[in-house]
C-alpha cells in the first residue's frame, strides 16, 4: 500500500508540472510579394493580415512547440535552416518543433522553391525575396522564445467535432477523366480535431483546430494577401473566444473548400466559412469534457519509398533522397509523432490524401488521432494507389509512385500501434 501511494504521488506531481503558452505574431508583408499556390503572380494589397501562432506545451520532461503559419508551403530546407538557427540560439531541438502551414494560396512565397520547382515547372522562375524570408524566420524565432518564456501552469482538453465545409475535389467525367473540381460522391474527411489549452484556473489560453481543407477559397485571379478560408475561420473563433486559434490543416490533398477558386471574397462566400466551420469549431469546443494535465511522448520515423522515374531532385535536399539496394531512387519522408494524453498527433511534410489519414485513424489504438499536414516543409502530394490509376492533377505532380500509399500507411500504422497508451 505504501508503494502504491508513493507511485500515485509521483504521477500526480509529474502531471502537475504541465505548462503551456500561446503566442501570436504578425507576418504580413509591407511590400508587394510573389504569391504561392497558383501561377506566378504578385500581390497588389492586403485583404486580411497573416500570422504565426505558436503553442508551447511542456509536461515537465518533454517540451514541444506547435506552429501554425498563414503560408502556403515552403521547402524542407527552410525548416532545416530555421531549426539549426533555433537550436544555436535556444538549445531547442528540431524534433521539438512542428511548423505547419494553413496552406492559404494567397500568402507570399517563403524561401527557395526546392521540390516545388521540380514538380511545378514555370512557377518559380523569378528571384525569391530574401528579406521576407528573413522576416518570417526572425518573427517565428522570437515567438518561440516568447512562448517558452511565457510557460505557465496549464491544462488541456482533447476532443473532436465535424463540419461539412470541405468536399472531395477530384471531379469525374463520363469517360472517367479526373480533373480539379467538386466531387460530392468522393471520400471526405470532415473530422475537426480539437485541443483546448487553459490556464490552471480554467480561463482560456488558446485553441488548436485540425481540419482538412485546401486554402483555395480564393482563386488565382485574387491578388491580395489573405489567410483565405483558414485565416477567416481562425479570426472569427478568436473574436468569439478572446484567445489565439491555431488552424492546423489535415490530409487536404484531395479536400477543397465547398466554395473554391473564386474571383473575390464575395463570389467565394468567404464569410460563410465562419458558419460552416467556425461555428462548428465553437460548438465542438463547448461540448468537450473537462480539461486536465497531460503527459507527452515524442517520436520520429523516416519512411523510404520509390521516387517517380525520371524525376529530378533539388541539390539542397540530399537528406530527403536515398538509393535502394538495387540503385533505384527513393524519397525519404520524415514523420513526427506526439502522444498527448489519450490522443496521438502525427505529422509529415506532404499533401496527404484523406483516405490514408482515415485509415490510420481507424487502426489507431488511441481515443483520438489527428494528422497535421504541411509540417516542416513540403514534398508534394501523397495520393492513394487508386488515384495514381485514375490520373489527375495530384498524381501527375507527385514525386511518388503508386507504392507510396502502402509504404507510408503501413509504416505509420505500425509505429502508432507500438506507442504507449
Q: Kindly report, residue by residue over 229-248, the tens digit of the pLDDT.
A: 999 999 999 999 999 999 99
Adjacent-strand bridge partners of 26: 51
pLDDT in tens, 248-292: 999 999 999 999 999 999 999 999 999 999 999 999 999 998 999
For residue 191, what pLDDT is reported?
A: 98
CB atoms within 10 A of CB 6: 10
∠ CA 44-36-139, rounded to 5°: 85
Given this model, what pLDDT does residue 4 score?
42
Range of the domain at 335: 297-417
**116: pLDDT confidence band, cut at 50, 70 and 90?**
very high
Mean predicted confidence (pLDDT) in 126-155: 97
* Res 14: pLDDT: 44
- Looking at the domain assignment, is residue 82 inside a domain? no
pLDDT of 178 over the 90 cut? yes
The per-residue pLDDT for 420 is 77
The answer to whether the CB of 259 falls within 8 A of the CB of 231 is no
- Determine how many CB atoms are found less than 10 A away from the CB of residue 99: 27
pLDDT of 53 higher than 60: yes
CA–CA distance, 337 with 346 (Å, rounded to integer): 4
Query: Tell me, what's the pLDDT at 11?
Result: 44
Distance CA 205, CA 267 (A): 35
Percent of the chain exceeding pLDDT 90 equals 94
Phi-psi region of 216 (alpha: psi -120 to 50; beta: other; left: phi over 0): alpha
Average pLDDT over the chain reads 95
- Is the pLDDT at 322 greater than 90? The verdict is yes
Identify the DSSP state of 226. Answer: -
Is the per-residue pLDDT at 16 higher than 90? no
| Phi, psi of 150, deg, nearest 5 | -90, 0
CA torsion angle for 210, 417, 186, 278 (degrees, to 10)? -10
Q: Domain for residue 331, yes or no?
A: yes
Residue 336 lies in a domain: yes
Q: Where does the pLDDT of residue 421 fall: very low under 50, low under 70, confident under 90, or very high at 90 and above?
A: low
Residues 385-390: what's their mean pLDDT? 98
What is the tally of structural domains in the chain?
1
The answer to whether position 271 is within a domain reads: no
Residue 42 lies in a domain: no
Residue 191 lies in a domain: no
The pLDDT value recorded for residue 10 is 42
Between the alpha carbon of residue 342 and those of residues 67, 159, 205, 296, 368, the distances in Å are: 21, 10, 21, 10, 7
**Confidence at 8, pLDDT banded by 50, 70, 90:** very low
**How far is Cα 77 from Cα 113, in angstroms, rounded to an integer?**
9
Q: Domain for residue 326, yes or no?
A: yes
Nearest alpha-carbon partner for 103 in 262, 186, 14, 210: 210
What angle is formed at CA 340 by the lines to CA 338 and CA 343, rounded to 5 degrees? 95
Residue 142 lies inside a defined structural domain of this protein: no
User: Alpha-carbon distance 167 to 183, whole Å?
Assistant: 7
What are the grid coordinates assigned to 275, written together? 458558419
Cβ neighbours of residue 328 closer than 8 Å, sequence gap 6 or more: 306, 307
Amino acid at each position: 500500500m505504501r508503494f502504491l501511494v508513493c507511485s500515485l504521488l509521483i504521477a500526480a506531481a509529474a502531471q502537475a508540472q504541465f505548462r503551456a503558452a500561446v503566442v501570436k505574431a504578425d507576418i504580413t508583408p509591407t511590400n508587394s510579394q510573389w504569391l504561392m499556390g497558383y501561377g506566378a503572380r504578385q500581390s497588389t494589397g492586403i485583404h486580411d493580415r497573416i500570422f504565426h501562432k505558436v503553442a508551447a506545451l511542456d509536461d515537465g520532461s518533454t517540451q514541444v512547440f506547435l506552429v501554425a503559419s498563414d503560408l502556403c508551403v515552403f521547402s524542407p530546407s527552410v525548416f532545416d535552416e530555421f531549426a539549426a538557427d533555433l537550436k544555436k540560439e535556444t538549445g531547442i531541438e528540431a524534433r521539438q518543433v512542428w511548423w505547419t502551414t494553413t496552406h492559404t494560396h494567397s500568402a507570399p512565397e517563403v524561401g527557395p522553391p526546392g521540390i516545388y520547382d521540380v514538380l511545378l515547372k514555370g512557377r518559380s522562375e523569378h528571384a525569391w525575396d530574401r528579406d521576407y524570408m528573413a522576416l518570417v524566420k526572425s518573427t517565428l524565432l522570437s515567438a518561440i522564445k516568447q512562448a517558452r518564456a511565457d510557460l505557465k501552469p496549464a491544462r488541456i482538453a482533447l476532443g473532436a467535432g465535424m463540419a461539412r465545409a470541405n468536399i472531395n475535389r477530384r471531379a469525374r467525367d463520363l469517360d472517367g477523366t479526373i480533373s480539379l473540381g467538386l466531387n460530392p460522391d468522393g471520400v471526405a474527411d470532415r473530422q475537426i480535431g480539437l485541443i483546448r489549452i487553459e490556464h490552471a484556473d480554467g480561463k482560456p489560453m488558446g485553441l488548436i483546430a485540425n481540419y482538412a481543407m485546401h486554402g483555395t477559397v480564393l482563386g488565382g485571379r485574387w491578388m491580395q494577401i489573405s489567410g483565405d478560408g483558414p485565416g477567416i475561420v481562425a479570426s472569427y473563433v478568436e473574436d468569439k473566444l478572446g484567445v489565439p486559434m491555431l488552424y492546423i490543416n489535415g490530409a487536404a490533398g484531395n479536400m477543397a473548400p465547398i466554395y473554391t477558386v473564386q474571383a473575390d471574397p464575395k463570389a467565394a462566400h468567404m464569410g460563410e466559412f465562419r458558419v460552416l466551420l467556425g461555428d462548428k469549431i465553437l460548438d465542438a469546443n463547448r461540448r468537450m469534457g473537462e480539461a486536465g494535465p497531460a503527459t507527452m511522448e515524442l517520436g520520429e520515423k523516416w519512411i523510404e519509398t520509390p521516387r517517380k522515374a525520371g524525376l529530378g531532385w533539388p541539390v539542397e535536399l540530399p537528406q530527403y533522397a536515398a538509393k535502394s539496394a538495387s540503385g533505384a531512387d527513393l524519397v525519404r519522408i520524415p514523420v513526427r509523432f506526439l502522444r498527448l494524453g489519450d490522443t496521438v498527433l502525427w505529422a509529415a511534410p506532404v499533401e496527404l490524401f484523406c483516405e490514408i489519414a482515415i485509415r490510420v485513424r481507424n487502426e489507431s489504438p488511441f481515443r483520438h488521432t489527428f494528422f497535421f499536414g504541411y509540417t516542416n516543409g513540403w514534398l508534394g502530394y501523397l495520393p492513394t494507389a487508386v488515384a495514381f490509376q485514375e490520373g489527375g492533377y495530384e498524381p501527375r505532380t507527385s514525386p511518388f509512385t503508386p507504392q507510396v500509399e502502402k509504404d507510408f500507411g503501413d509504416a505509420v500504422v505500425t509505429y502508432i500501434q507500438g506507442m504507449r497508451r
